[in-house]
Chains A and B, each alone.
Chain A
C-alpha cells in the first residue's frame, strides 16, 4: 500500500506540470468550445439580420453554461438495437482525441500547453487523424440508416482530406525544417516571413482541407442536417451528443492552431522584423486598456447589481493585464518577463486562431453545401494533385534559392506561378470530366427498370 502511494507521489512529482496541463485542458477547452459556439451563433445572427441568444445572461453570455446544464440533465438514451459499448465509446474517443491533440499546441514562446516535444506537429496531426474513427464507430454502432450513411461519407471525406492537409503541412515543413512547434515559429522569425506568403498554395489547400477535416460547412456532409437529419449523430442525444459537439469545436481550435503555427507565424506579431511597425507591440496593451475603459463606461448602465459587479471585475482584470504588459515589457526581469512574453504571444496567437475560426464561420453561413461526389472530386481531382505539385514546387524553390543562390522570392514566385497553372489546368480538366461523368451515370441509371416504378 505504502509503495503504491510512493509510486503515485513520485509520478506526480515528476509529471506535475503535465498533469496540471491535462486537468486544465479537460476543464477549460470545453468551456472555450462552448463559448465558440456562442460566438458562432452571434456571428451567424449578425449575418442573418437577427440578434442571436439574448435571454440567458447579458447578451446571452451564460447561454453555453445553460446549454451544458440542460444537456447534462437530459435522459441518457441508448437505442435497443445499438451496439451498447461502441455506442458509448465512440463519442468519448472523438472528444479524447480532440483534447489530446491540444497538448502539443503552443500558445506562446513559454506557453506550451503540455510539452514542447520534438515531433510536435506530427503528434498533433497523428492524434487528430484518429478522430474520424469515433465518427465511423458512432455511425456504425447506432444501427440506423442515416447514421451509417453519415459514417460512410465521413470515412471517405476525412481520409481524402487528411491526405491533402498532410501534403499542405509538408510544404510548410520544408521551409521550417523541423517538426518542433516552437522551432517552427522561431524559424519563421529567423526567415523574416510567414510561410503563408512563401507557400500561399500550401496555405490555401490547408485552409480548405482543415474545413473539410472538421466537418464544417460547406463540407459538412457527414452530418448534413437537411439530408441525413444529423448524420452519424442521429441517434445521439444529451451529453453523448455534446461530446461529439465539443470534439468538433476542439478540433476547430486544433486545426486553427496548426494553421497559425505553420503558416501565420504562431505567436509572433505581424511583421516581427520590421522596425517601423514596432508600435504594433503596444497593441495588446492598448486593447486591454480599451476593453477596460469600455467595461467601466458600461458598468453604470447595467440594470442588475450582479451585472455591474461583473463588468467592474472584467475591467479590473483588463487593467491588470494591461499594467503587466506595460511594466514587464521593457524590463528583462524573470519570471515577470516570461509571463509577459507568454501572455503577449498568446494574445497574438489567439487573435490569429480567432480570425482563422471566423473564416470557418463566415464560409459556413455564406456557402451552400457540396454534394458528396463533388466533394470527392474536389479532393481527389484538384486538391490532392495541387498539394502534391506544391510540395514539389516548394522543394524546387528551396533548392534553387539555397543551392543555386537564386533570390528566394523570385524562386517562390516562379514555382507558385507554376503550381497555380497546374491548378487551373486541373480545374478545367475536371469541369470537362465531371459533366461527362454525371451525364453517363444518369443515362445508365434511367435505363434500369425496377419494381418500384408504380
Chain B
C-alpha cells in the first residue's frame, strides 16, 4: 500500500484529518480486529483493516498432524460455529477418501449443524444489537443459545469447540432424548424469534440506524467474493445448501431468504429469517432419523490416495471451503481454508466510506466476522 504524503482529502471545514485507531482492544470490534480510520470530524474518509492478531497458523499445523488429529483444530477457527467448521472438514476428507457417511450420521450432522447456525446467528444478533446500543436482546439471545449448547453438551460433552463429528461419520450415537430436546427447543424458539423481532424490526431508531447503512449491491458482493447472508441480503439467491447440497440438505424443504437493498437492515432481516428456516429444517430432520450405522468403514489410520479435493459448505457466516491435498501419507500435504469472515471483511472499507463512526461499529457487526476465522 502506498501512502502519498502530499495527498490530502478534502475535509468539510478544512480541518485536519483525524486518525482513529479502532481496536485491537475495543468493545465492539468482535475480538481483535483493528481498523485504522481516517476521519473528517466523525465522517469516515478512509480506512485500513489490520488483521493477524489471532493468527495461529492453523493451515500450517494441518501439515504436521494426521487427518483425525487436525479435526479439533478447525473448531477453533470460527469458535461460535464449531460444528459447521467440523462438518466442512470431515466432509472434505471423506471426499478425498472417497467414502460417504451413512445416512443416519448425515441426518444427525444436519440437525446439529442447523442448531449451530441458529446459535451463531443468535450470538450475532445479540452482539449486533449491543453494538447499536440495544442492551437487552443480548441476554435473550444468550438464553436461547444456552439451550442449544446444552444439547451439544449432552451429545458430545463439549459446548463451544465441540469436535462433534469424525471423518467417516460420528463417534457418538445420538443420546436417547435428542429428538425430544431439539423438538422442545424448536417449539419454544418460534415465539422467541418473534420476541426479538418485536424489539427491533419495527423500532424506528433501529431502522434509522440500519437502513441504507453499509449498502453493498449484488455486483459489489460478487466482485468482492462476499457470501452468506451478506450476499443474500443484496438479492443474490446463492446458498450452498440448495446449490450444492451436502450432508442431508437435499431431503428437506426450506426457503432461502433474500433481501433487496443489501443494507444492514436487510442483512438483519435475512439472518432472522434464516433462523426460522433452520428451525424448520431441524423439525423436519428429527421426524425421521434413519436407523443404521453411524460410521462408515474407514481405517484407524487414514491414508487417502494422492490427490486434491475442494469441498465447501454454507457455514453461518458464508461459504466455508476446505482445499485438502494428499500426497498419500498419513498427514495432509496442504490444507487451505477459505474462511467466509475473511473474505466478507474485504467489503468493510467499501461499506464504511462516507458513514459516521457509529455506523462503522454497526457495519463491523453486520458482517458477522469472527476473528479466529479471519486470522486462522
Scoring A149, A229, A368, A451 by chain B CB atoms within 10 A of each residue's CB, the highest score goes to: A368
Q: How far is the CB of A37 from chain B (nearest CB, A)?
A: 15
Q: Which residues from chain B contact A366 at a C-beta distance below 8 Å?
A: 134, 136, 199
Whether the Cβ atoms of B357 and A48 lie closer than 8 Å is no
A451 touches B3 (CB 8 A): yes
Beta-carbon contact of B4 and A451 below 8 Å = yes
Expressed in whole angstroms, the minimum distance between the Cβ of B338 and any Cβ of chain A is: 20
Q: Is B208 an interface residue (CB 8 A)?
A: yes
B358 at the interface (CB under 8 A from A): yes
Binds B, one of A83-91, A206-214, A442-450: A442-450
Task: Report if B212 contacts A (CB, 8 A).
Answer: yes
A220 in the interface (beta carbon within 8 A): yes
The dominant DSSP class at the A interface is: helix
The answer, yes or no, to whether A118 is at the interface (CB within 8 Å) is no
Q: Is the CB of A367 within 8 A of B203?
A: yes
C-alpha spacing A153/B205, complex, angstroms: 18
On whether the beta carbons of A367 and B28 are closer than 8 Å, the reply is no
Binds A, one of B43-51, B270-278, B313-321: B43-51
Chain A residue at smallest Cβ distance from B36: A452
The CA-CA distance from A221 to B139 in the complex, in Å, is 22
As a 0/1 sequence over residues 14 to 35 of chain B, the CB contacts with chain A under 8 angstroms (1 = contact) are 0000111100001110000000
Kindly report which residue of chain A lies nearest to residue B127, judged by CB atoms.
A226
State whether A368 touches B132 (Cβ < 8 A). Answer: yes
Closest CB in chain B relative to A435 CB, distance in Å: 8
Residues from chain B with a CB closer than 8 A to the CB of A48 are: 135-136, 138-140
What 0/1 pattern do residues 358 to 389 of A give for CB contact below 8 A with B? 00000011111111111000000000000000
- Contacts A49-B139, A226-B27; is A368 near B200 (CB within 8 Å)? yes
Q: Which residue of B lies closest to A145 (CB)?
A: B20
Q: Roughly how many angstroms separate A372 CA and B133 CA in the complex, as a whole number?
A: 13
Stretch at the interface among B96-104, B112-120, B290-298, B348-356: B348-356
B38 at the interface (CB under 8 A from A): yes
* 216-268 of chain A: CB within 8 A of chain B: 217-218, 220-221, 224-229
In angstroms, how far is the closest chain A Cβ from the Cβ of B134? 4
Can you name the residue of chain A whose Cβ is closest to the Cβ of B10? A448
In the complex, the answer to whether B43 meets A445 with C-beta atoms within 8 Å is yes
Q: Quick one: which of B38, B41, B132 contacts A369, CB cutoff 8 A? A: B132
The answer on a CB contact under 8 Å between A368 and B129 is yes
Minimum distance in angstroms from A383 CB to a CB of chain B: 15
Inter-subunit contact A450/B7 (CB<8 Å): yes
Using C-beta atoms within 8 Å of the partner chain, give the interface range for chain A: 35 or more
Are B143 and A226 touching (Cβ within 8 A)? Answer: no
Select which of B10, B353, B358 is within 8 A of A372 by beta carbon: B358
Residue of chain B at shortest CB distance from A225: B27
| CA A152 to CA B355, docked complex, whole Å | 17
Set of chain A residues within 8 Å of B179, measured between Cβ atoms: none
For A58-102 the 0/1 string (1 means CB < 8 A from B) is: 000000000000000000000000000000000000000000000
B357 touches A149 (CB 8 A): yes
Task: Decide: A229 and B205 in contact? CB cutoff 8 A.
Answer: no
Contact partners of B355 in chain A: CB under 8 A:
442
B143–A49 touching, CB < 8 Å: yes
Nearest A residue to B29 via CB reads: A226
Please tell me if A47 contacts chain B, counting CB pairs below 8 Å: yes
* Contact present for A439 and B45 (CB under 8 Å): no
Is A432 in the interface zone, CB < 8 Å from B?
no
Q: Which residue of B lies closest to A44 (CB)?
A: B135
**B209 interface residue per 8 A CB criterion:** yes
Give Cα A255 to B129, complex, Å.
29
Q: Which residues in B have their C-beta under 8 angstroms from that of A217?
A: 133, 135
Distance in Å from the Cβ of B3 to the closest Cβ of chain A? 6
In this complex, the member of B41, B42, B206 whose beta carbon has the largest number of chain A beta carbons within 10 angstroms is B42
Residues of B within 8 A of A146 (CB): 20
Give the chain A neighbours of B130 by CB distance below 8 A: 226
* In the complex, B75 has a CB within 8 A of chain A: no
Given contacts A228-B357, A368-B200, contact A450 B136 (CB under 8 A): no
CA distance A369 to B210 in the complex (A): 11
Q: Does A13 sit within 8 A of B, measured CB to CB?
A: no
Residues in B neighbouring A226, C-beta threshold 8 A: 27-28, 130-133, 361
Interface flag for A441 (CB, 8 Å): yes
Name the residue of chain A whose CB is nearest to the CB of B46: A452
A452 touches B48 (CB 8 A): yes
Given A450-B45, A452-B38: A50 and B139 interface contact (C-beta under 8 Å): yes
Report the Cα distance A224→B140, complex, angstroms: 22
Q: Chain B residues near A364: list those with CB within 8 A.
A: 135
Instruction: List A contacts of B18 (CB < 8 A).
Output: 145, 149
Whether the Cβ atoms of B209 and A445 lie closer than 8 Å is no
* Contact partners of B28 in chain A: CB under 8 A: 226-227
A441 and B44 alpha carbons, distance in the complex (Å): 12
Q: Does A335 contact B (CB under 8 A)?
A: no
Taking a contact as CB atoms under 8 Å apart, the answer to whether B354 and A451 are in contact is: no
B253 within 8 A of A: no
A430 CB to nearest chain B CB (Å): 11
Partner of A451, one of B7, B10, B136, B138: B7
A454 CB within 8 Å of chain B = yes
CB atoms of B133 and A218 under 8 A apart: yes
Known: A369-B209, A371-B356, A453-B46. 20 other contacts (CB 8 A): A48-B135, A48-B136, A218-B133, A226-B130, A226-B361, A229-B27, A364-B135, A365-B135, A368-B203, A368-B206, A370-B208, A371-B358, A372-B42, A445-B353, A448-B10, A450-B38, A451-B3, A451-B7, A451-B46, A452-B38
A/B interface sample: 8 pairs, CB < 8 A: A149-B20, A149-B42, A226-B361, A227-B28, A365-B136, A368-B129, A372-B356, A452-B349
Q: Which 9 A-B pairs have the closest CB atoms?
A: A369-B133, A452-B46, A445-B354, A48-B139, A226-B28, A368-B134, A368-B133, A368-B132, A226-B131
Binding site for B on A (CB under 8 A): 44, 47-50, 145-146, 149, 152-153, 217-218, 220-221, 224-229, 364-374, 435, 438-439, 441-442, 444-446, 448, 450-454
